């Protein structure tokens, strides 16, 4: 099939049938309405996406722009999720596959950050993963409010995290082993933009791992935001980010992190065979990586 470039799509929509006597089978009024709708959609699409000349299949993602080929993104072989899926015995390849399903977000943190900016902060995954008291939801209620699955080995934060630019993020339980996927040496992230900077305040924006850091929610991973430079760091105020609409609705607000979404976010669910004793705080043996996140929903919290 011929790939449709942007101009080709414009032509296709404006002159359906390539201009060769496309017969109008619909009543006139309907075609007028249809015409208006098509033109409206077209203008919308151009306004939203821009009519760039980039052809599908030739747009470079951040990793490729930074010179990172696919072979530099190794599968993770740690059997960290062993207790899930009733402890089913998996081959090494299957373990790597399940890991990918649960922690690899393929660079889509860039997309989700764009969505936050396009909506002036109305949709903000960095807030969804938070437990700041002003938000009205927290690690304790995200199951009942949003149907999101808490990742075992974390607890609700009781204050801002100075290691995470004062965001209120889930804290790792002390007696749990480190998340193997956040290991920056084993899985070096894409060094681009401000990643790897030490700011004048002494704070650091690490490069991080290409699997990101765990967030405390299954399927969501945290990545240092390459756009968070010295200027953004100086302007950053976590308290106002949570509490002051004049600050968090700003279109030019640069957040220190972007949140990536792995397949598991929508595909992991409570095990139907061994359901969690407390669904708000499940344990690994009570989770299935394939059953589907069937309780996820979007709600306006009270």
CB closer to ligand HEC, 5 vs 106: 106
> Is there binding between residue 259 and ligand HEC (CB under 6 A)?
no
Angstrom CA distances, 106 to 61, 89, 124, 221, 259, stand at 10, 26, 19, 11, 11
Q: How far is the CB of 117 from ligand HEC (least distance, A)?
A: 19
Span interacting with ligand HEC, options 45-53, 132-140, 167-175, 262-270, rule CB under 6 A = 262-270
Rule CB under 6 A: say whether 38 interacts with ligand HEC.
Answer: no
CB of 129 to ligand HEC, least distance (A): 15
Could you tell me the two tokens for 196?
A: 């790897």
Measure Cα distances from 34 to 15, 19, 136, 255, 285 in Å: 13, 17, 44, 41, 53
Going by C-beta distance under 8 Å and a sequence separation of 6 or more, which residues neighbour residue 3? 55, 56, 57
What the block records as the tokens of 243 is: 């509490």
Q: Which is nearer to ligand HEC, 106 or 196 (CB)?
A: 106
How far is C-alpha 255 from the geometric centre of its chain's CA atoms? 14
CB of 267 to ligand HEC, least distance (A): 6
- Which whole-number Å values give the CA distances from 105 to 212, 220, 265, in the listed order? 9, 8, 10
Q: 222 vs 261, which CB is nearer to ligand HEC?
A: 261
Minimum gap (Å) between residue 287 Cβ and ligand HEC: 16
Of positions 6, 186, 263, 280, contacts ligand HEC by CB under 6 A? 263
Stretch that binds ligand HEC, among 69-77, 151-159, 210-218, 258-266 (CB under 6 A): 258-266
Rounded (5°) CA angle 158-159-164: 120
CA dihedral over 137, 125, 202, 240, signed as positive or negative? negative
291 binds ligand HEC, rule: CB under 6 A: no
Query: Pick from 261, 268, 271, 286: which binds ligand HEC (CB under 6 A)?
Result: 261
Interface region with ligand HEC, contact rule CB under 6 A, candidates 168-176, 246-254, 261-269, 272-280: 261-269
Q: Is 116 helix (H, G, I), strand (E, B) or coil?
A: helix
Question: Smaller CB distance to ligand HEC: residue 205 or 218?
Answer: 218
Decide if residue 266 touches ligand HEC (CB under 6 A): yes
According to the binding rule CB under 6 A, does residue 294 interact with ligand HEC? no
**Minimal CA–CA distance to 104: which of 223, 246, 234?**
223
Count of beta carbons in the 10 Å neighbourhood of residue 221? 30
# chain residues binding ligand HEC, by CB under 6 A? 5
- Residues making contact with ligand HEC (CB under 6 A): 261, 263, 265-267
């Amino acid at each position: 099939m011929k790939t449709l470039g942007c101009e080709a799509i414009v032509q296709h929509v404006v002159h359906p049938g390539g201009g060769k006597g496309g017969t109008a089978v619909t009543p006139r009024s309907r075609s007028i309405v249809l015409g208006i709708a098509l033109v409206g959609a077209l203008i919308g699409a151009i306004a939203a996406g821009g009519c760039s000349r980039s052809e599908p299949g030739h747009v470079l993602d951040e990793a490729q722009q930074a010179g990172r080929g696919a072979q530099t993104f190794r599968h993770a072989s740690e059997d960290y999720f062993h207790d899930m899926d009733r402890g089913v015995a998996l081959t090494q390849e299957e373990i790597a596959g399940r890991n990918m399903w649960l922690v690899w977000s393929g660079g889509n943190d860039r997309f989700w950050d764009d969505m936050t900016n396009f909506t002036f902060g109305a949709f903000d995954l960095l807030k969804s993963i938070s437990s700041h008291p002003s938000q009205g939801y927290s690690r304790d209620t995200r199951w009942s409010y949003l149907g999101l699955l808490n990742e075992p080995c974390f607890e609700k934060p009781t204050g801002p995290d100075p290691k995470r630019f004062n965001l209120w993020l889930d804290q790792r339980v002390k007696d749990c082993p480190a998340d193997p996927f956040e290991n920056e040496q084993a899985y070096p992230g894409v060094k681009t933009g401000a990643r790897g900077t030490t700011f004048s305040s002494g704070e650091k924006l690490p490069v991080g791992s290409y699997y990101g850091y765990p967030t405390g929610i299954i399927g969501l991973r945290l990545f240092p935001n390459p756009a968070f430079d010295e200027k953004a760091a100086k302007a950053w105020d976590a308290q106002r980010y949570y509490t002051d609409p004049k600050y968090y609705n700003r279109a030019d607000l640069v957040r220190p992190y972007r949140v990536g979404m792995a397949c598991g976010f929508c595909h992991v669910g409570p095990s139907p065979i061994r359901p969690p004793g407390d669904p708000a705080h499940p344990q690994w043996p009570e989770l299935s990586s394939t059953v589907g996140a069937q309780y996820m929903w979007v709600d306006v919290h009270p």
